[in-house]
Every structure is written in C-alpha cells, then in structure tokens.
Amino acid sequence: SCDLVRDIAADGRVIAANSPVLYAISAGTVTLSVVAGDVVKQGQELARIDSPELRSKLAQEQATLAGLEAESSRAALDATLARANASKLTDQAKIDKQAAARDLERYQRGYDGGAVPQVELAKAQDTLKKTDIDLQHAQRDASLKSQGADLDSRNKRLLADRQRAVVAEVQRQVDALTLLSPFDGQVG
C-alpha cells in the first residue's frame, strides 16, 4: 500500500468568523474606551456616545414626571379631604335630624298635654321632614364627591404612570449610548 502525502504552501489572510458592526441609536460625540488590538470580554464597554439632545430629553421627561407625581399626590390628598368634608356634613345632618326628632317628641307631649298649639307641632313635624331630606342629600353628595375625587386622583395617577414609562424608555435610549462588546474577542 502506498500513502501519498502532499504539502502545500500558500500565502493568505485570516478573517474573523465574527466581525460585528455596532450602531448607536442617537448621534453624538464618541469616546472610545478601547483601541484596535485590545482584547475585550463580553459586556465590556467599547465606546460611549455623549448625546446632549438625548440627555436634555431625559431631563425634560423626568421633570414632567416629577410634576405629574406631585399632581397625583395632591389629587389623592384632595380626595381624602373631600371625603372627610362630606362625612362631616353627613354627620352634621344626622345630628340635626336627631335634634329635630327630639323636638318633635317634646312638642308632641306638650300638644298631648294641651300646652302646645297644633301649629307648633306642625312646625316641628316639618322641621323633622326637612332634616330627613337634608340628611339624604348630604349622604348622596358625600357619595358623589367621593367618587369624583377618587376618579380625579386615579386619572392623575395614570398620567404619572404613563410618564414613568416614557422616562424609562428615554433612560433605555441613554443607556444604549454605551456600546458594549457582544462577545469575547479582539478589537480589529
């Protein structure tokens, strides 16, 4: 058996199997962290882009968020105050009704004993009816004011939540201005 062995000599060039091109999402001034020939690890910073426009946008969105969060907190406080005030008015209406009921009992006893005229008894009955109506209105107003204040508070909270998402997106864009090595290798 005869084994043939051939040796071939040739000139050539080695080309990397992975040669990615990195792009940034925003224009700006580039500061390189590595130079050609440097060995890098995956996740290592290669370059940083300074984008005044994007930094300014982030600052504006953060300021808007701070304002909306303050409005949301204020609306929550206003809702609490509205509920407390409505509760106070309802409690006052209950007290007025109880006082009118006691007055009517007193006038009824006086009328039954002949000491109070019919017209005074009728006034006491009317006062009790009026305080009953006032209580019903106070309870209904309390419910409506509470619902309205809660709705306003919820809307302001949702606006703040939406703005928080906008800030997170712009922050993601700012963070993307730091270009990282996608894998271990050597800078070419």
Q: 148 with 46: CB under 8 angstroms?
A: no
* CA-CA-CA-CA torsion sign (135, 141, 143, 145): negative
Percent of the chain scoring above 70 in pLDDT: 86
- Whole-number pLDDT of residue 187: 83
Those residues whose C-beta lies under 8 Å from the C-beta of residue 85, and which sit 6 or more positions away, are 145
Strand pairing category for 185-186 and 39-40:
antiparallel
- Whole-number pLDDT of residue 119: 94
Q: Which two tokens stand for residue 137?
A: 């209105």
pLDDT band for 29, please (50, 70, 90 cuts): confident
- Whole-number pLDDT of residue 14: 47
Q: What is the mean pLDDT of the chain?
A: 89
What is the value of pTM for the model shown? 0.68
Q: 180 with 31: CB under 8 angstroms?
A: no
Residue 15: DSSP 8-state: -
Nearest to 45 by CA among 180, 136, 185, 188: 180
Those residues whose C-beta lies under 8 Å from the C-beta of residue 169, and which sit 6 or more positions away, are none
**pLDDT tens per residue across span 115-149:** 999 999 999 999 999 999 999 999 999 999 999 99
